[in-house]
């Protein structure tokens, strides 16, 4: 099963890397599927002399990109394309990200990009976000205890390590049948909450890798 998933991520990553042209500024996501995309992009850089600049969403993805020979740049200027993985995506394009703790940077780069590609395999496509059940939030550490008290009904759990930006990472257990955007808005309205892991994505830009090396989109 693990090998099948790795093959699916590799297929999605290769398909995404094929969308990137010479001269592009590219946002590099975090996680296993995004890593497959970074490695596929690195292979093109080495084989074709592709001239691009990568902007990583985490220290980990930056290290992978450096290993692959992808030049790295700052996030200031707009991106031509950004790609990332996801924890779960529903049929309406609601998407949960943040299991790797990088959702703040991921949203910054996704918002800056002209096109945002999401790389997944089949199990990440769910009937409802209830199948995933967890909404991560990033919180200023000073406010973490107060935020957890305010959201006590959602069973908040603070992770033992903070994000690359020093934010406390707290996972909320969203009950089945809840309105996910409403829960996300409630969390973000609290003082000290920087962001949450609920995104809306374009299903036509969700690339689903298959174990046999083929891909399809979610649209």
3-state secondary structure at position 68: coil
CB atoms within 10 A of CB 37: 30
106 is catalytic: yes
Contact 139, 189 (CB under 8 A): no
C-alpha to C-alpha distance for 183 and 188, rounded to whole angstroms: 9
Q: Are 173 and 133 in contact (CB under 8 A)?
A: yes
From the candidates 6, 48, 106, 145, give the one annotated as an active-site residue. 106
CA 61 to chain centre: 11
Kind plus residue range of the DSSP H or E element containing 215? strand 215-217
Q: Which residues are catalytic?
A: 106
């Amino acid at each position: 099963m693990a090998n099948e998933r790795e093959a699916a991520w590799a297929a999605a990553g290769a398909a995404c890397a094929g969308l990137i042209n010479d001269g592009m500024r590219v946002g590099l996501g975090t996680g296993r599927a995004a890593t497959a995309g970074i490695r596929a992009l690195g292979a093109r850089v080495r084989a074709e002399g592709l001239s691009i600049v990568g902007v990583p969403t985490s220290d980990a993805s930056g290290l992978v990109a450096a290993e692959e020979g992808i030049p790295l740049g700052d996030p200031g200027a707009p991106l031509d394309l950004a790609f990332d993985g996801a924890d779960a995506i529903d049929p309406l394009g609601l998407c949960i990200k943040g299991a790797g703790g990088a959702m703040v940077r991921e949203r910054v780069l996704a918002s800056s990009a002209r096109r945002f590609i999401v790389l997944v395999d089949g199990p990440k496509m769910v009937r409802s976000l209830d199948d995933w059940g967890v909404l991560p939030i990033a919180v200023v550490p000073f406010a973490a205890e107060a935020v957890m008290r305010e959201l006590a009904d959602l069973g908040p759990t603070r992770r033992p390590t903070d994000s690359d930006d020093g934010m406390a990472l707290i996972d909320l257990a969203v009950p089945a049948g809840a309105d996910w955007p409403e829960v996300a808005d409630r969390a973000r309205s609290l003082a000290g909450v920087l962001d949450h892991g609920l995104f809306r994505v374009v299903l036509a830009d969700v690339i689903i890798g298959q174990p046999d090396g083929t891909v399809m989109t979610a649209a």
